[in-house]
C-alpha cells in the first residue's frame, strides 16, 4: 500500500521525536536505529527513506530536542507575573527533581553536551545554534523583553545562569543513584543562589519602653540624639 505524503511526513516526525527522546535518555552511543524505529512503530528500513544516514538523523533529532526544551521559556502562562517571579519559576522548573529524573523530556545540553563535544564539527554546530538560542531567550526573560535583543549585561547573566544550571543538573543526575540526598541538595542549593528575591524583607520592629513599636533605624537615630 502506497504511503501518502501526509503519512510520510507523520512517520518522519515520529522518528525524530523518538530519536530526540531516546538520545537524551541513553546518549548518542546507547541508541541504535532499531530502537528508534521500534519506538516510532516503523520498520528498520523505513528510517533510511527519510534520512540519508544515522549522522543526519542525530543532527536533526538534536535540533528537535533544542526546540522542545526552549518552548517552556516562551510558552509558560506567566504574563501577569513580575520579571523576578518569571525567572524564579523557570530556574525552579529546570533545577527540579522532575527534570533530573526525566532526561528524555528535558534539556539536550545537560543530556548530550559531552557526546556532542566528541562527535565532530557538524553536531557541534547544531549545539552551538541551540545553546545560542537558549541564551538569547533566557536573557530576554531576565530583561523582561518579549522580542528584540537583550543587553550585553543580560546576555552575560543568562550565560552564567544557564551554564550553572546545566552543570548542576549534570551533577545531580550523576549522584542521584548512589546519594539521593546529595543530588537533592545540589538542586536546592543552586535554586536558592540563582533565584532572585521577589520582594525586600520587611524591616524589623522593636517595642520602645512606652510600648510603641519602632523601626530599628529610627531607634538608632533616637540614640544618636
Integer Rg of the chain from CA: 24
What is the C-alpha to C-alpha distance for residues 183 and 6, in angstroms, rounded to an integer?
45
In a domain, 170, yes or no: yes
Number of domains in the chain: 1
pLDDT tens digit string along 123-165?
A: 999 999 999 999 998 999 899 888 889 999 999 999 999 999 9
pLDDT tens digit string along 166-220?
A: 999 999 999 999 999 999 999 999 999 998 665 434 444 444 444 444 444 444 4
What per-residue confidence (pLDDT) applies to 16?
94
Average pLDDT (90-111) is 94
In a domain, 111, yes or no: yes
Evaluated on CA atoms 129, 172, 164, 95, the torsion sign reads positive
Give the model's confidence band at 83: pLDDT under 50 very low, under 70 low, under 90 confident, else very high: low
Q: Is the pLDDT of residue 47 over 50?
A: yes
In a domain, 210, yes or no: no
Phi and psi, residue 163, nearest 5°: -65, -40
What is the C-alpha to C-alpha distance for residues 130 and 132, in angstroms, rounded to an integer?
5
In a domain, 78, yes or no: yes
Across 39-43, 92-96, 154-158, 165-169, least confident range: 39-43
In a domain, 218, yes or no: no
What per-residue confidence (pLDDT) applies to 204?
46
- Which residues span the domain enclosing 72? 56-194
Residue carrying the nine cell digits 550585553? 152
What per-residue confidence (pLDDT) applies to 72?
53
- Between 85 and 188, the higher pLDDT residue: 188
In a domain, 76, yes or no: yes
In a domain, 216, yes or no: no
Which pTM was predicted?
Answer: 0.79
Q: What is the CATH classification number for the domain harbouring 156?
A: 1.10.357.10
In a domain, 171, yes or no: yes
Amino acid at each position: 500500500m502506497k504511503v501518502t505524503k501526509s503519512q510520510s511526513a507523520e512517520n518522519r516526525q515520529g522518528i525524530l521525536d523518538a530519536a530526540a527522546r531516546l538520545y537524551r535518555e541513553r546518549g548518542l552511543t546507547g541508541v541504535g536505529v532499531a530502537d528508534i524505529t521500534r519506538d516510532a512503530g516503523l520498520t528498520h528500513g523505513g528510517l533510511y527513506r527519510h534520512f540519508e544516514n544515522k549522522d543526519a538523523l542525530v543532527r536533526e533529532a538534536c535540533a528537535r530536542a533544542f526546540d522542545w526544551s526552549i518552548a517552556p521559556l516562551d510558552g509558560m502562562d506567566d504574563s501577569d507575573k513580575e520579571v523576578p517571579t518569571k525567572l524564579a519559576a523557570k530556574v525552579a522548573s529546570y533545577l527540579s527533581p522532575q527534570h533530573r529524573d526525566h532526561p528524555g523530556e528535558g534539556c539536550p545540553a545537560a543530556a548530550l553536551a559531552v557526546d556532542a563535544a566528541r562527535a565532530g564539527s557538524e553536531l557541534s554546530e547544531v549545539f552551538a545554534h541551540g545553546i545560542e538560542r537558549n541564551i538569547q531567550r533566557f536573557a530576554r526573560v531576565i530583561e523582561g523583553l518579549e522580542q528584540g535583543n537583550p543587553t550585553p549585561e543580560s546576555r552575560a547573566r543568562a550565560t552564567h545562569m544557564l551554564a550553572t544550571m546545566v552543570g548542576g543538573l549534570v551533577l545531580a543526575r550523576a549522584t542521584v543513584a548512589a546519594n539521593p540526598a546529595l543530588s537533592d541538595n545540589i538542586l536546592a542549593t543552586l535554586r536558592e543562589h540563582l533565584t532572585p528575591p521577589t520582594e525586600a524583607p520587611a524591616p524589623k520592629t522593636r517595642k520602645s519602653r512606652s510600648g510603641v513599636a519602632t523601626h530599628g533605624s529610627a531607634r538608632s537615630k533616637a540614640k544618636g540624639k
